[in-house]
Chains A and B, each alone.
Chain A
Amino acid sequence: MTDTRKESHMAADPDSGISIRGISKSFDGTRVLRDIDLEVGRGEFFSLLGPSGCGKSTLLNILGGLETPDSGSIRIGDRDVTHLPAEKRPTNMVFQSYAMFPHLSVAKNVAYGLRRKRLGRRERDEKVERMLSLVHLDGLGDRNPSELSGGQRQRVALARALVMEPAVLLLDESLAALDRRLREAMQIELRELQREVGITFVFVTHDQDEAMSMSDRIAVMGGGRILQIGRPTELYHAPASREVAEFIGSINLIEVTPCAGGRLEAPGLGAFDCDSAAGEGGLLALRPECFGIAREAPAAGNRLEGRVREVTFLGDRSYLRVNVEGLEDPLIASCSFREAEGLSRDDRVWLTWSAEDGRLIPSDR
């Protein structure tokens, strides 16, 4: 039965960069990965996103051959690499701690893996030079890694992996150790680098902004499973579950039941229109930016009445926390500074939204 499923998957996507089937892994009896299936396209920037302990790093290590799965198989291109050791795989990794060889200079770090490729000294030096210049480290080849900043070490680690010309580059929380400003600059740089070299990147992160801003597609992971795979916009606007919805961005969730006319009803709050509702209840998910703010009761449409609890000014926009009677948590609305101007605690407001912005997701977890 498992076999037929595998067959069908293979037929569905023969040109896949990476194809992961039924990977499971336990450590000391704890299941870290449960039956993972995943396809990553050639040249894709793919992120594994999830909280710490969700199994994303283990999956990355399995991809790189640094861990062996208990079951399942991995193909890269048309090659089954499940039983290939790390040193023989067409993958290279950028480690979270960068894993610089402390006894080697920057250039020698980058050249480390080339020894096996039996290149001439000249050719090797040229490759190293080219790679260092690609990551904007020209002229630093003779430095010792300990003399470099975190961002520079990050680039050396990138160069060291890329010089191997891997089919897939694996990045393990590679930006986590950098400060915010540098991290944001590196996000853009990394994305550009990926376009330049044109190979598949698999990027592990717990930072949703990072994943959203860089990736072609993201797999959100939790508890050793893949919760949802999709483009960043899909994950944001159409989360498949409460877990995904809550993990990506902030969101308001209102428990609703179906009622007459295909509408949704929240007990004590009224009935709402929702385009994605199909006759069943669940959680009505509303992103903060879906809301409009009205100071007087609107004539029609979805609306909720409440009192302002707090106004937070964030520069480009303001956040409103609104207490609604009958809801445990305040609703969060984001609006322009102008819309929030003059509002203060305990002011009466109405939050409005259109039927297409609300999203119904199953309430069971």
Chain B
Amino acid sequence: MTRSHARKRPVLLTAYAVLFLLFLYVPILLVPAFSFNDGTIVAFPLQGFTTRWYGELSRSPELLAALRHSLVVGACVSVLATGLGTLGAWVVTRYPLPGKAPVTGFIMLPIVAPLVVLAGALFLLVQTVGVGLSLYTVGLGHLIVCLPFAFQVMRSRLESFDDSVLKASRDLGEGRVATFLRVVLPISAPGIISSLLLTFTLSFDEFVLSFFLSSTEVTLPVYIWSQLRFPGRLPVVLALGSLILLASFVLVVLGEVLRRWRTDD
């Protein structure tokens, strides 16, 4: 009905789009495929099915420590980024501000900045201030890259409902606090959860900043990076990678669905 000019089914275009999806997904899906391969060399033909690489995961204390660090940093960063992003998005969507465009441009900067440069600059700052590298500095780095995403998610969420709803709430007898709790929070809840999920995933998967800003306590991607040097560890890395992909996939699909929840996207 909409787009009615597309009368014929475009066979070629459909085929291309499907191939495109294969191009996007097949390389990624090779990681879990080989994680079940019963051989230390990652090559065809597959040698047989095994889950022993997954079993080895639980026997590496360093890995478990890295996992713990990633979870803690991810949790803190996602909460902080979402809180700050929501606040910022609220102000930007509700109040006329002078210089709104340059300010939001500045907030979005980390999305387009080359990560190495950003990481180097943060590294310099941390070293100059003299606080020393730790999980806190990793967290700061992650916060910086997560904020634009949280801000963006919350901004599009908050833009999707109009002010008259807030006026209606006041008109029906509720003050500011009650209006926030009964109207703003429930309407933006899907956005908040989506932002939490997405920023957590972003932080959990982030490598370059963690690599620059961590010391002995490393996060999971930095741990994986260190393991890539040892060919013998490759299958274990693949198993770990598969689990991470699975976790990211679940969180992100959930986050994306919530982000589009009841908005006319």
Seen from chain A, the residues whose Cβ lies within 8 Å of a Cβ on chain B are 64-66, 85-88, 91-93, 95-97, 99-104, 112-113, 115-116, 146, 160-161, 164
Contact = CB atoms under 8 A, between A and B. Distances in A.
Instruction: Give 9 closest A-B pairs by Cβ, nearest first.
Output: A113-B172, A99-B164, A99-B168, A86-B170, A103-B186, A116-B173, A95-B164, A87-B173, A93-B171
Nearest to A88: B173
A113 B186 CA distance: 16
Contacts of B182: 112
B233 interface: no
Contacts of B159: none
B171 A66 contact: yes
B168 A87 contact: no
A160 B172 contact: yes
Interface residues of B, number: 18
Given A95-B164, A146-B262, A101 B183 contact: yes
Contacts of B262: 102, 146
A115 B262 CA distance: 26
B175 to A, nearest CB: 6
Interface string B159-189: 0011011011111111100000011001100
A112 B187 contact: no
Nearest to A144: B262
Contacts of A115: 174
B168 A96 contact: no
Interface string B178-219: 000011001100000000000000000000000000000000
Given A96-B164, A99-B164, A87 B187 contact: no
Contacts of A93: 167-168, 171
Interface of B: 161-162, 164-165, 167-175, 182-183, 186-187, 262
A102 B173 contact: no
27 contacts: A65-B171, A66-B167, A66-B171, A85-B175, A86-B170, A87-B170, A87-B173, A87-B174, A87-B175, A92-B171, A92-B172, A93-B167, A99-B162, A99-B164, A99-B167, A99-B168, A100-B165, A101-B168, A101-B187, A102-B165, A103-B187, A112-B182, A113-B173, A115-B174, A116-B173, A146-B262, A161-B171
Given A87-B175, A146-B262, A102 B170 contact: no
Nearest to A66: B167
Contacts of B186: 103-104
Contacts of B183: 101, 103
B16 to A, nearest CB: 35
B173 A164 contact: yes
Given A97-B162, A97-B164, A103-B187, A112 B170 contact: no
B172 A85 contact: no
A116 B167 contact: no
A123 B255 CA distance: 40
A115 B182 CA distance: 11
A66 B165 contact: no
Given A87-B173, A160-B172, 10 more contacts: A87-B172, A93-B171, A95-B164, A101-B165, A103-B186, A103-B187, A112-B169, A112-B172, A112-B174, A161-B172
Contact of A116 (B171, B174, B187): B174
Contacts of B169: 101, 112
Given A101-B183, A102-B187, A103-B186, A85 B170 contact: yes
A88 B172 CA distance: 9
Given A101-B183, A102-B262, A103-B186, A87 B171 contact: yes
A103 B187 CA distance: 6
Contacts of B168: 93, 95, 99, 101, 160
A103 B173 CA distance: 18
B95 to A, nearest CB: 14
Contacts of B162: 97, 99
Given A87-B175, A146-B262, A99 B165 contact: yes
A64 B171 contact: yes
B161 A86 contact: no
Contacts of A161: 171-172
Contacts of B164: 95-97, 99
A64 B175 CA distance: 14
Most buried by A among B167, B168, B170, B262: B168
A86 B171 contact: yes
Nearest to B183: A101
Contacts of B175: 85, 87
Most buried by B among A64, A86, A100, A104: A86
Contacts of A87: 170-175
